[in-house]
Structure 1
Amino acid sequence: MAGVTLHNVIKKYGDVQVIHGIDLEIEDGEFCVFVGPSGCGKSTLLRMVAGLEETTKGSMHIGERDVTRMDPSQRGVAMVFQTYALYPHMTVKDNMGFGLKMNGHPKAEIEAKVAEATRILKLEDYLDRKPAALSGGQRQRVSIGRAIVRGPDVFLFDEPLSNLDAELRVEMRVEIARLHKEIGATMIYVTHDQVEAMTLADKIVVLRKGVIEQVGAPMELYRDPDNKFVAGFIGSPAMNFLDGKVVDGGVAVAGLGMVIPAGLSTAYKGHAVTVGLRPEHLEVDPNGTALRVDMVESLGGVSYAYLVGDTGERIVIEQRGDDRVADGETIGLTVDPSRLYLFDGETEQRIRT
């Protein structure tokens, strides 16, 4: 097993630069997730680690080895694709062992490694089936098994759950988390789904337009985002954002018709800011600002109420317990000042008080 280090990694297609000087260190045995919106460069960066995309500038190490110009087969990585990429005419057993067979490994070694992967992924009942006779989740487990058999230094996952339905996605998230715990390998996982990122990762790398916006543990990014983009991307439902202005005594939030104490220095007075509020940090209070409940999304143990203010602001609040608001109600809302996030109105960087 080995860690992965990227130093000033750049990727260009002709004159178009898509990865802009990435510096990143992934520790040995760490589960690192690249997350961001479509087109942010996360899959390109993963493919560069795999050697499927050439690195234009910079360097890349796996363990102590400089793999920047190495062929994919020499890097000690195994990739699990979104599309499974299984041979349809081969059984599960043959699919998992095919790579080792082509590289001339002894039959006994192949049998032993396939048996171990089968045990880890609980595929004993499917070894003689072909991919067409498997569900989507089973096919993805076979794809992961093929990677395990290779015994790589680093596992690479390129949106492996995107083709699965909601129930299978949850099941496979648990399988992949259990797999990482059991084998302890370094894993790099690409997804646009921040729920997957939050539930799987030791470390999350948030990307936007080929640049790293922030790196950290899941709850670190959730509780202490560096900028508005990270604050809005990490968390479901997303953080509420409202326009504000710094005044004496705090921040005037037009959408709530209130001044919230913020403890900012006088240097910020008159500055435009964006006020961020997590849905779970807003409370219903009959003495608070009046807003109308436009819709309630009830998910059983939790509900999300979508509120509309007099001037059209939309705010989402989270509710638990038995006493919840209903569609069409007008309710009061209060804010705990200690739960406030402030972002510069121009740069969108976090203002820490």
Structure 2
Amino acid sequence: MTGVTLAKAVKKYGDVQVIHDVDLTIEDGEFCVFVGPSGCGKSTLLRMIAGLEETSDGQIHIGARDVTDLDAADRGVAMVFQSYALYPHMTVEENMGFGLKMNGHPKSEIKEKVAEASRILKLDQYLKRKPKALSGGQRQRVAIGRAIVRGPEVFLFDEPLSNLDAELRVDMRVEIARLHKEIGATMIYVTHDQVEAMTLADKIVVLRAGRVEQVGSPMDLYSDPDNRFVAGFIGSPSMNFLEGTVQGGGVVVPALENRRVGTSVSLPSEGSKVLVGLRPQHLSVLAADSSLILDLRERLGGVSYDYLTTPTGEKLIVETRGDEALPEGTAVAINFDDADAYFFDGATEQRLR
């Protein structure tokens, strides 16, 4: 197996540039997830690595090889798509081995590789079935098995779980994580779902409008975001953001009845606008004579989410645990530790440290 390196990678469609000077190193055996909102360029970047999209400028290396201008078939990668793309008239065994058969591999070798892939993916009992007799999760495992038998240097996944229901998505996340541990291959995975990114990745690449916003481990991005976009995208529910003003070495937040949030970070000049970021799990609510109103509570069993509207019209989400609940419409106060607050420049939205 081997790693992947992108150096100033650019993609243009005519005069429109959709990928902007991406520099990225994915180590040998690493599970790297590209994440971001729809239209951010994550699938385009993956297809550039696969050779399905031409690279307009820059270089792409797989291991020591410059593959920038190589055809997809010569890059040593295998791709798993959102669509299973299985042949309906073939059995699972035939679907998994078809690529090797077309490339002239001996029958004994095909049988051996299919058997190994089916063992890894727990498909042994389904080898003689056709796709119509399989569930969505089983079909996706067959598509992954078809990639495994090729023995690629790099596995590429383009939103492979998007067609599955919620329960199957969880099951397949576990399967893919287990697969990575067992075969140790370099894997690059595209998703818009930050929960998938957090649970699967060794490294997350957050993309916005064709640019890399931040690269790091899941917990690095969660606990130490570089800007408001990353802070709001990583974490579920997303971080709350409230407008504030620098005053007396802290930040005064009108939405919290002019509470002053103390901090040791380097703040801009007195009177400057700052965004205060607060994660839902760092907040708590209690009944109080306040202008904050609890609009709605979502009960999810062991955890609940309280939705509040502030006097300034900003929205807040508070994560609560336990059975005690305040009635909707209750006036409440918000408690939190100042040390848990994040601060972002009001103009640039870059993190203040």
TMscore range, shorter length: over 0.9
CA shift for structure 1 position 288: 8.7
Query: Percent identity over the alignment?
Result: 70
Spell out, residue by residue over 1:281-310, the C-alpha distance to the aligned partner (whole angstroms, 9 max, x if none).
112245695521111111111100001123
**CA distances 1:244-294 after superposition (whole Å, capped 9, x unpaired):** 110114101111111111235575211111111000111224569552111
Shift of 1:191: 0.2
Query: Whole-Å Cα distance in 2 between the matches of residues 15 and 6 of structure 1?
Result: 22
Residue of structure 1 equivalent to 2:64: 64
Deviation at 1:335, TM superposition (A): 2.4
1:169-212 per-position Cα deviation (integer Å, ceiling 9, x unaligned): 00000000000010000000000000000000000000000000
Asked whether the equivalents of residues 10 and 55 of structure 2 are also in contact (C-alpha less than 8 Å), the reply is: yes
Counterpart of 2:323? Answer: 322
Distance in 1, matches of 2:112 and 2:267, equals 69
CA distance in 1, matches of 2:190, 2:269: 39
| Residue-by-residue CA offset, 1:66-123 (whole Å, 9 max, x unaligned) | 1111111111100000001111111110000000000011111000000000000111
Aligned residue for 1:148? Answer: 148
The CA RMSD over aligned residues, in Å, is 1.3
Against the structure 1 CA distance between its residues 266 and 221, is the aligned structure 2 distance closer, same or farther, given a 3 Å change threshold?
closer
Structure 1 residues 109 and 345: CA distance shift in structure 2, 3 A: same
Letter of the 2:232 partner, please give it. G
The alignment's TM-score, normalised by the length of structure 2, stands at: 0.97
1:33 and 2:43 equivalent?
no
Q: Is the Cα–Cα contact under 8 Å of residues 289 and 333 in structure 1 kept in the other structure?
A: no
Aligned to 2:307: 306
Over 3 Å counting, the alpha-carbon distance change for 1:106 and 1:208 in structure 2 is same
Whole-angstrom CA distance in 2 between matches of 1:159 and 1:169:
11
The 3-state SS of whatever aligns with 1:293 is: strand
Q: Which amino acid aligns with 1:164?
A: L
TM-score by structure 1 length?
A: 0.97
Change (3 A) 1:101 1:8: same
Checking the alignment, whether the CA contact within 8 Å between 2:35 and 2:207 is kept in structure 1 is: yes
Task: Please name the residue that 1:180 is paired with.
Answer: 180
Residue 185 of structure 1 aligns with an amino acid whose one-letter code is A
Q: 1-side partners of 2:325 and 2:214: how far apart? A: 36
Aligned to 1:263: 264
Alpha-carbon distance between aligned partners in 1 of 2:76 and 2:308, rounded to the nearest angstrom: 52
Distance across 1 between alignment mates of 2:302 and 2:46: 37
2:203 is aligned to 203
Maintained 8 Å contact 2:287/2:331: no
d(CA) in 1 for partners of 2:267, 2:115: 67
| Mapped contact 1:31–1:200 kept (Cα < 8 A) | yes
Whole-angstrom distance in 2 between the partners of 1:261 and 1:142: 55
How far did 1:313 drift?
2.2
CA-to-aligned-CA distance 1:34-77 (integer Å, 9 cap, x gap): 00000000000000000000001101111111111111111110
Partner of 1:276: 277
Equivalent pair of 2:197/2:204 in contact (CA under 8 Å): yes
Q: Which runs of 5+ in 2 are unaligned?
A: none
What secondary structure sits across from 1:255 in the alignment?
helix
Counterpart of 2:336 in structure 1: which amino acid? V
Q: Deviations over 1:209-258 (max 9, x none)?
A: 00000000001100000000000000111100111110114101111111
Aligned to 1:98: 98
Aligned partner of 1:111 in structure 2 is: 111
Q: Is the 8 A contact 2:238 2:279 kept in 1?
A: yes
Q: Secondary structure at the match of 2:176?
A: helix
State how far apart, in whole Å, the 2-side matches of 1:164 and 1:28 are.
29
- Gap regions ≥5 residues in structure 1: none
Q: Does 1:170 align with 2:170?
A: yes
1:85 equivalent in structure 2: 85
Alpha carbons 1:243, 1:272 under 8 Å: kept: yes
Matched with 1:351 is 352
Q: 2:214 touches 2:230 (CA, 8 Å); kept in 1?
A: yes
| Distance in 1 separating the partners of 2:183 and 2:326 | 47
Number of aligned residues: 352
Equivalent position amino acid for 1:348 in 2:
E
Taking the aligned partners of 2:24 and 2:32, their CA distance within structure 1 comes to 11
Q: 2: CA distance between counterparts of 1:19 and 1:25?
A: 16
Change (3 A) 1:267 1:203: closer
For the 8 Å contact 1:256–1:289, the answer to whether it is kept is: no
* Alpha-carbon separation, structure 2, partners of 1:68 and 1:346: 38
- Indicate how the Cα distance of structure 1 residues 343 and 317 shifts in structure 2: closer, same or farther if over 3 A, else same: same
Match of 1:339 in 2: 340
Task: Tell me if the contact between 1:285 and 1:332 (Cα under 8 Å) persists in the aligned partners.
Answer: yes
Superimposed CA distance per residue, residues 152-173 of structure 1 (whole angstroms, 9 cap, x where no aligned partner): 0000000000000000000000
1:321 CA drift (Å): 2.1
Provide the C-alpha distance between the structure 2 equivalents of 1:328 and 1:11, rounded to a whole number of angstroms: 51
